[in-house]
Structure formats: C-alpha cells, structure tokens
A and B are shown apart, each in its own frame.
Chain A
Amino acid sequence: MATAANLPPAVAEESALGAEKAAAGTAKRNNREGRTKLSAPLTGVLWLIVAIYALPLLWFVLSSFKPGSELFSYPLSMIPREWTFQGFVDAWERVDFARYFLNTATVALVTTVLTVFFSACTGYALAKYNNKGTRLFFVCILATTMLPTEVILNPTFSVIRDLGLYNSLAGIIVPSVLTATGVFMFRQFFLTVPDDLLHSARIDGASELAIFFRIMLPLSKPILFTLAIFSFQWRWNDYIWPLIVLNDPKWYTLQVALRSIVGAENIDWPVLLGASVISILPLVLVFAVFQKYVLNADVSAGLKD
C-alpha cells in the first residue's frame, strides 16, 4: 500500500488490517455465509447453557442478601425484597469465621509458595537430567496419582500423629507440598527449553544450581503463576486433609467449618449462606486479577503424560 507510509502508524495498521480482512472475506465467503446462518441458534444454545450454569450460583449469592425471614417465605423471589448484610455479619462474628479465614489463608499461601518452588526444582531435574534416579522418581510421582489420600485415610492419620503434626496447620501444609500435577507442569515446560542454553551456561562455568536459579527458574514464570493459582485454589478448597489432621476448632479451615454448619441437625441457613459466600470471595478476587494465567494456560501440559 503506497499511502500507508504517510499515515500515522495506528491508522496505517488499521487500514492494512482492513485490506487483509477484505481479502480473507472474499476467500471465505461461502464458509462465512454458512456460519452466519448458524450463528443465531448456536449463540442461543451457548447462552442458554451459560444461564443454566449461572443460575445456581446467582440464586445462591442473591439469597445470601435476604433476611432470614424471607429465605423461606413463599412466593420466593429472585431479587431480595429487602437487602441485608446480617448473614455475613453473623457468620463473621458469631461463628468465629475470622479465625477460620486466617487459618485457611495461612495454609493456602504457605503451601502454594512451597509447592511452586519444589515442583519447579523437581520438574527441572526430571526434564534435564536423565539418569536412573530421576527416571525412577518420575514413575513414583506418576504412581501418586493412582494413590489418592482418600484411599489411605487411616494410615495417613497414623503417620501424621506419629510425626507430631496432628492438630496443627503444619500437618496440612507439609503433606500437600508434593503434587504430581505441579511436577508434571514444570517438567513439561522445561522439556521445551532448548538444551543449548544449558550447555552454553556450563561452558561459561556456571554451576548446576546457579543455572537453575539464575536462568531456568526466571524463564518458567508463566508456569509459575499458573501453578500458583492452581495450588492456591486446591489448598483453599481442600477438605480431606484438614478433616483428618485438625481436631481443635481453633485450627479449623473454612471448608471444615462450613461442613460443620451444613452437617448440623438444624441448619442455620442465613449464616451458612453468608459464610459460604465469604469463603468464595478470595478466590474470585485472585481469579479476577490473574485469570489469563488460568484461562489461557495450556493446562493439559502437565497432565498429558
């Protein structure tokens, strides 16, 4: 295009794009006509599904703003007739939710930092050092996916007790650091990093660990973020470890506390609704900020083997 050079860059780019689009348009006209015909019904189906998926959550969140008296009074209405925060306040104060919140945050944050770091180390070693030891450990990690904690509840409890970790937050944190998914995600990533980088660093005289910390770890930033979010979600929402490790209510995490409310003979619904919604909020916040690391991540990377 002759004129493009004279235009400001943004406009030039736009016009170039336009030309490209027009060219693509003619080439694919047949295709596109077929698609526009289908566009309306397919969009309709998609948004119907969206509505079905959104409804339970929407109904739940809106209900949490209703006063207790309105929750069970027919006819039900989607939008609260009277808005109130009483359920949240009660949950926060009466059920000692602030404490559970702090416990859960501690567990989730500490475990996430440890998981990301040690998964990176292990994943790197499995990807870049090929010897009997690393090959064997790879199979071991694979085996852990076949032996979920749910299958060894009682023996796990015995181990926790014998290690003196019973009834402490450390008892939830330490066993959760090793995750197969995390290790596989990093291994898969480091397999794609060219070995030449490693060789030239070695020729320059860098030590093995320095190569990992100075060159490889910074390279893996995208995976680092993705695993961090995954791990935070796993730990925040974990139920089974806190259930078997914690006995004293003062160490309860949110999930165990919620379960004790919903498992009661007479469920205190206003408190339960408020407490549940509060428990979701931090994850929604994390997701809102870092969503590209989750939605755009090739999550299959770690799970593929």
Chain B
Amino acid sequence: MANPTLSSTVTPGTPGTGAVRSKSQMKRHNRYVIAPLVLIGVNVVLFLVFFVWPGALGLIYSFTDYRGVGKLNFIGLANFQKLFADSTFYAALSRTFLYTVFSVPLVYISSLGIAALLVSKATRGRTAAKVIIFLPWLISPIVVGVIWKWMFGQDFGFVNFVISTLGGSPVPWSSNGNLALMVVIFASAWGGTAFNMLLFIAALKNIPEALLEAAELDGANAWQRFRHVTLPGIAPTSFMVILLSTIHAMKEFAMIQALTNGGPGTENTLIVQYIYKTGFEQSKVGYASAASMVLMVVLLAIALIQLRFNKKKG
C-alpha cells in the first residue's frame, strides 16, 4: 500500500496523485462506500426506528399531557414544574441514588477481590471456585429477586430461621424500608459480581509479572504492590466497571419488581419503577416522559463526570 501509516483502517479509494480519476478508480470508490452501507444497513434502520424515533417521541411527549390516546396537547414546561414539586418523584430519585451509592462500591469491591483471589497462585481450587461464583450470571434479575425474597422472608426465610436458632429475634427484612433496601443491595451485588469479576480477571492477568516482582524486590509489601502497581494497571477496567454498574444501578427495575415490588409500601420505589407506574399503570404518559428525560440527563451527567475524572487521572 502507498500509505503504510494508515494500516489500522483501510482508506478506500485513495485517488491517484495528480492524474484524473480513472473509471475503474471511481468504480472501486463506489464499491468501498456501498459495501459498508449494505453491511450496516439493517442496524442503521433498527437504530433509527428503535432509538431515534422513541427518543424524539419521548422528548415531544414530555411537553404534552398525553395519556396514551388522542391528540397531543402541548402544555409547555408544566410537566417539569409539577415534577420538581412532586415529593414522590424526589423520594424515588433519592432512593435510587442511595441504592447506587451503596451497591456500586459493593459490586466493585467484591468482584475485584474475588478476581484477585482467583488470579493469585496461592489459592487452591480456582477453576471450581470461578465456575460456582459465576453461576449467578446465568440467573435472570427476576429469579434473583425471587431467590433473595425466599432467603430473607420475614416469617419463613432461611436467614431469620438461622438468627432465631442462634437466639436472636427475627429481623423485619420486608417491613423496614432500610433493611429491605439492604437486601436489594445484597441481591444486586450477588447478581452483578460474576460479569465484572471476568473483566477484572482479564485485566489482572495483563499486569506484567515483572513489575510486581520488581516492586517486591524493592521491598514493597502486598498492600503497597496492590495499591501502586495493580490498581493503576487496571484503572481502565475499573473505570468501565464503575460506569457500567452505575448506569445499571440507576435503571434497576426487574430485580426489585420481584424482590420487594418497591416496598414496604412505596418506600423503595426506584426511578424506573416510578416511571413505569406513572406511565403505564396511571397512563400519565406525558408526565412519565418528563421524568424519563430527567433520568436521561442524570445518566448523561454521570457518564460525563466519570469520563472527565478518568481523563484527569490518566
């Protein structure tokens, strides 16, 4: 090729210098434009129909009092004004933040810790351990909710049975709002560890052994080696895991539907469930769309903040 610096991507139809483009070059140029178009065609259509269309529609809905049928009636910013004065909306939003603030670090620490144990040459039975810890990945959020509801049942659950056998009094796992949220957080960590653990295992294996040995020779203890060699080495993966888990936590829905259904009462209704309830059960489509737009802005803000933070560190 004439231009070896562009080896990572093919530059299609680089025109011959100076000369007028020949017919065959034009033909080749077309070929390089048409072929990728054919290849991405279906996904472009799907993108337009299932992302751009509903996205635009959602934005339009948020300025109307649409209720699922009839004509769109624009009411300006009224939905947003009402939303920012709505205490149940704030409750859902703040509960979602609380959930995210606890569940993301828990997922991060457990998946990184387990990954480190599974990569360390000192532990025995690593393959079996990896498979068992990975099993929750196979289980759907709905069934994760069912499993933890069964474990932490207030009157019949395994955990309360063990507590009362040990002489304690049964804990109100489902009638106390904070305890109920705690169970949800545990369940999310249990279900979310497996995949992130895989990401960390791949990252940890990429850290050159020589670096760790050099640090050891220089007298760094295990913690110092982890803090100053391993952690910087896996920073990109850490960033990715935190970003993905944060977005995942912000839109948690199915697991809670099965586990507590937002209970006790509506105390632990998270934002997506709030949107679903107002949008579908009460069919306040316009109002729910306004709440969706707020959630979208929050998600974007989180992504931008983390991206910035990541760049600064890098």
Cβ of B131 and Cβ of A291 under 8 Å apart?
yes
Partner of B58, one of A155, A212, A294: A155
Given A56-B151, A259-B257, A262-B145 in contact, is the A128-B9 Cβ separation under 8 Å? yes
Segment touching B, from A3-11, A16-24, A88-96, A136-144: A136-144
Partner of B47, one of A46, A140, A146, A237: A140
- Shortest distance from the beta carbon of B215 to any chain A beta carbon, whole Å: 13
Cβ of B251 and Cβ of A148 under 8 Å apart?
yes
- Shortest distance from the beta carbon of B181 to any chain A beta carbon, whole Å: 18
Cβ of B39 and Cβ of A121 under 8 Å apart?
yes
Expressed in whole angstroms, the Cα–Cα distance for A118 and B134 within the complex equals: 28
Expressed in whole angstroms, the Cα–Cα distance for A262 and B145 within the complex equals: 9
User: What are some 23 contacts across the A-B interface (CB < 8 A)?
Assistant: A38-B122, A50-B132, A60-B147, A75-B161, A76-B158, A121-B42, A125-B35, A130-B12, A131-B33, A140-B51, A147-B296, A153-B272, A155-B53, A157-B280, A177-B43, A237-B140, A237-B142, A258-B142, A258-B258, A280-B139, A280-B143, A287-B138, A303-B240
**Which residues of A lie under 8 Å from residue B122 when comparing CB positions?**
35-36, 38-39, 42-43
Among A31, A122, A127, the most chain B Cβ lie within 10 Å of the Cβ of: A122
Partner of B129, one of A47, A198, A284, A298: A47
Cβ of A122 and Cβ of B146 under 8 Å apart?
no
A-contact 0/1 string along B281-292, CB 8 Å cutoff? 000010011001
Among B8, B35, B43, B254, the most chain A Cβ lie within 10 Å of the Cβ of: B43
Expressed in whole angstroms, the Cα–Cα distance for A48 and B279 within the complex equals: 44
Give the number of chain B interface residues (Cβ < 8 Å).
Answer: 105
Cβ of A129 and Cβ of B258 under 8 Å apart?
no
**Which residues of A lie under 8 Å from residue B40 when comparing CB positions?**
121-122, 125-126, 133-134, 137
Q: A43-B122, A50-B133, A209-B35 are in contact. List 6 more A-B contacts (CB 8 A).
A: A39-B124, A46-B117, A137-B44, A151-B251, A151-B295, A299-B195
**Which residues of A lie under 8 Å from residue B117 when comparing CB positions?**
42, 45-46, 49
Expressed in whole angstroms, the Cα–Cα distance for A59 and B53 within the complex equals: 45
* Interface of B: prevailing SS: helix
Given A63-B150, A262-B146 in contact, is the A147-B55 Cβ separation under 8 Å? yes
Cβ of B55 and Cβ of A155 under 8 Å apart?
yes
B-contact 0/1 string along A22-56, CB 8 Å cutoff? 00000000010001101100110111011001101
Given A59-B150, A287-B138 in contact, is the A150-B251 Cβ separation under 8 Å? yes
B residues lining the A interface (CB < 8 Å): 1, 7-12, 31-40, 42-44, 46-47, 49-51, 53-58, 61, 68, 113-114, 117-118, 120-126, 129-143, 145-151, 155-156, 158, 161, 165, 190, 193, 195, 198-199, 202-203, 213, 216, 236-237, 240, 244, 247, 251, 253-254, 257-258, 261, 272, 275-276, 279-280, 285, 288-289, 292, 295-296, 299-300, 303
Cβ of A148 and Cβ of B247 under 8 Å apart?
yes
Expressed in whole angstroms, the Cα–Cα distance for A243 and B31 within the complex equals: 43
Cβ of A129 and Cβ of B199 under 8 Å apart?
no
**Which residues of B lie under 8 Å from residue A299 when comparing CB positions?**
195, 198-199, 202
A residues lining the B interface (CB < 8 Å): 31, 35-36, 38-39, 42-43, 45-47, 49-50, 53-54, 56-57, 59-60, 63, 71-72, 74-76, 118-119, 121-122, 124-131, 133-134, 137, 140-141, 143-148, 150-159, 163, 174-175, 177-178, 183, 191, 195, 198-199, 207-209, 212, 233, 236-240, 244, 254-255, 258-259, 262-263, 269, 272-273, 276, 279-280, 283-284, 287, 291, 294-295, 297-300, 303-304
**Which residues of A lie under 8 Å from residue B51 when comparing CB positions?**
140, 143-144, 147, 178
The chain A residue sitting closest to B13, CB to CB, is: A131
Expressed in whole angstroms, the Cα–Cα distance for A281 and B56 within the complex equals: 40
- Shortest distance from the beta carbon of B80 to any chain A beta carbon, whole Å: 16
Expressed in whole angstroms, the Cα–Cα distance for A258 and B114 within the complex equals: 31
Cβ of A263 and Cβ of B165 under 8 Å apart?
no
Cβ of A159 and Cβ of B57 under 8 Å apart?
yes
**Which residues of B lie under 8 Å from residue A297 when comparing CB positions?**
198
Cβ of B12 and Cβ of A131 under 8 Å apart?
yes
Expressed in whole angstroms, the Cα–Cα distance for A211 and B237 within the complex equals: 34
**Which residues of B lie under 8 Å from residue A158 when comparing CB positions?**
54, 57
- Shortest distance from the beta carbon of A242 to any chain B beta carbon, whole Å: 10
Partner of B61, one of A154, A209, A291: A154
